[in-house]
Structure 1
């Protein structure tokens, strides 16, 4: 594999990661709802979720999802329902003054698990990796080292991307002072998550 192959993969991955999807919306919503303290837990959950999805794809789960309509549909609905649940919870979250708005409403462990579940259980990611990775593999070279390099590259880029969104959203949250504004932020974040869940539920296998 040449440097040009790796650079092409890195550039394509960076573009795909920058496009807001359910994971990015989750990161933004947690940053808006819980501040910078949630960033580490959220980003760690996203990174581990991407690692799980990529590894599962390389081991063949992605190919199985591509052929098993029942399994694909089940994972799709589980992930979509979970996003909608989180959105409703954030929409109904109580608000108060700045101190109350800044206090974490969830423990980092729960935030980590939520981010991991949403990222790892996204069937679109599993199928995407199966369709995406082979385009950059060199058949004449050993495949295992290439897959490890591509997975490591993607995970680094995904972590940077999630951290950037989290920090930007938490910085915007720092300007909030009034409970009425915090309520709007919670409802916007909740609406984003609900919308992401509805989009995930309506996403068709053929779209990939």
Structure 2
């Protein structure tokens, strides 16, 4: 059995690698919609499904086992200053507030870890959330109730994001992030 602190440290390196791959893709995604949709203030906004599925594909290609995409929502009840890009949905008035937002993230039940690569879109953190599964009271598991996961447009984006030299390099870096590698990084 591995040390939970080592699992968190390794997951942080994994998250940094995945975000480095995803960030330019988020920019390109929003650039293609320039003029049709305003550029969000935080580029990961509304790209949690694509990002989670692309990350899962990279993790699986690199041999990291046990990860899965979790669909649900994030409770915004205790959040302050949530960006309007999240809360001002089509058809909503600026004064309308929402109590939760549909969201996806990754979980590894064997490690007991939640990895949210696009947590920054809610304006409460600057980057990812890595935490024990039992620590996230704001995360609501709605997997059985979700009807928006099988959108073919998302599959097309994931296919685009998981091909080419950048993706191949990301997978190679992820392959190097084994528990033994993390021990040598800590020394």
Relative contact order higher in (CA < 8 Å, ≥ 6 apart): 1
> As a proportion of its length, which structure holds more helix?
1
Query: Whose radius of gyration is greater, 1 or 2?
Result: 1
TM-score clears 0.5: no
> As a proportion of its length, which structure holds more strand?
2
TM-score, with length taken from structure 1 = 0.23
